[in-house]
């Protein structure tokens, strides 16, 4: 599971940072899931290693323009890229009407199907490999954070041990891999758990933006392998953060600390901290690390490989 940051600015793009979008790349299923889709996201994808044709799901946090203005252009381009048959889009109430109006007035006709899912707190998607949940955050409009959970996978099947014990292959191996107790044709009862290594614990990724510090952010990030959290403002600008319902660097760090997350990656930075100003982004990083040392600062086209979770 690899995360590619396509846009890390808040509100408006800058020369070095586009507005919000993150790609979660799932090579085991040749899929890309997007978290938000700000203006010019498709241009960022073209400049990255992300494949437009692999986008299968888009999760939108809220209806502010710096998180959705790139949707229609991206969807139109996906149709021309080929190999796209369907895209599921998840987001708040109003997203479906916004996309329908964009298609109608631009006379855009997609060559594939899309389905818009209006989310509410709880599970928004689940299959054999993943669960995606959301919770409402605290912003000026309805906004949701997302938690992507990779389900635990069975440990390695010891095929050598099975061969040594003359266990016939085929369907029985499949049952043993699942940890089932199997009765063999010769009457032996075999416990599959004795042939499997420790289960591979699934990874957990949390994404919280736009929001001020809130309990739901902590819950979404609980024990996460990586928390991606907005840090629009520096700590000394906390009054502005409270007025606009955005987080400071220290709020993001407090969420990570309270959630027992393994790593924090901050994003969604105000352009006010550009080089040459009194406060710069390195100052925000120092502030966060005083509370949560394992903090990094995202930048456009940054790639982060989510490490395999520990069995501990």
Tell me the catalytic residues.
66
Q: DSSP string covering the chain, please? A: -EEEEEE-BSSS--SS--SSEEEEEEGGGTEEEEE---TTHHHHHHTSS--GGGEEEEE-----HHHHTTHHHHHHHHHHHS---EEEEEE-TTHHHHHHHHHHHHT---SSEEEEEE--SEEEEE-SSEEEEEEE--SSS--EEEEEEEPPBPPPB-HHHHHHTT---SHHHHHHHTT-EEE-TTS-EEEGGGGB---BPPPEEEEE-S--S-HHHHHHTTT-SEEEEE--B-GGGHHHHHHHT--BHHHHHHHHHHHT-S-EEEE-B-GGG-TTSSS-HHHHHHHHHHH-SSEEE--TT-EEEPPPPP--
């Amino acid at each position: 599971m690899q995360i590619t940051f396509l846009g890390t600015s808040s509100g408006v793009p800058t020369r070095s940072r586009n507005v919000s979008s993150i790609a979660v790349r799932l090579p085991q299923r040749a899929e890309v899931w997007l978290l938000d889709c700000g203006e010019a996201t498709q241009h960022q994808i073209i400049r990255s290693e992300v494949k437009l044709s692999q986008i299968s799901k888009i999760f939108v946090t809220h209806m502010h323009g710096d998180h959705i203005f790139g949707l229609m252009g991206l969807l139109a381009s996906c149709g021309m890229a080929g190999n796209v048959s369907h895209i599921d889009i998840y987001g708040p109430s109003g997203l479906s009407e916004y996309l329908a109006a964009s298609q109608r007035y631009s006379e855009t006709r997609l060559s594939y199907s899309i389905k818009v899912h209006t989310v509410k707190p709880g599970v928004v998607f689940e299959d054999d490999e993943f669960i995606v949940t959301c919770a409402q955050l605290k912003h000026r409009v309805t906004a949701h954070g997302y938690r992507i959970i990779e389900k635990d996978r069975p440990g390695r099947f010891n095929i050598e041990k099975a061969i040594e014990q003359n266990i016939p292959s085929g369907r029985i191996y499949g049952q043993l891999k699942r940890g089932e107790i199997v009765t063999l044709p010769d009457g032996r009862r075999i416990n599959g758990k004795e042939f499997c290594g420790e289960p591979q614990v699934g990874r957990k990724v949390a994404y919280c933006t736009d929001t001020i510090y809130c309990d739901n952010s902590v819950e979404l990030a609980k024990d996460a392998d990586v928390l991606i959290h907005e840090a629009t403002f520096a700590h000394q600008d906390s009054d502005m953060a409270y007025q606009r319902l955005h987080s400071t660097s220290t709020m993001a760090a407090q969420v990570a600390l309270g959630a027992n997350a393994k790593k924090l990656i901050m994003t969604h930075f105000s352009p006010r901290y550009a080089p040459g100003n009194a406060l710069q982004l390195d100052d925000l990083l120092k502030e966060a690390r005083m509370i949560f040392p394992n903090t990094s600062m995202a930048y456009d086209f940054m790639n982060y490989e989510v490490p395999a979770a520990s069995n501990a």
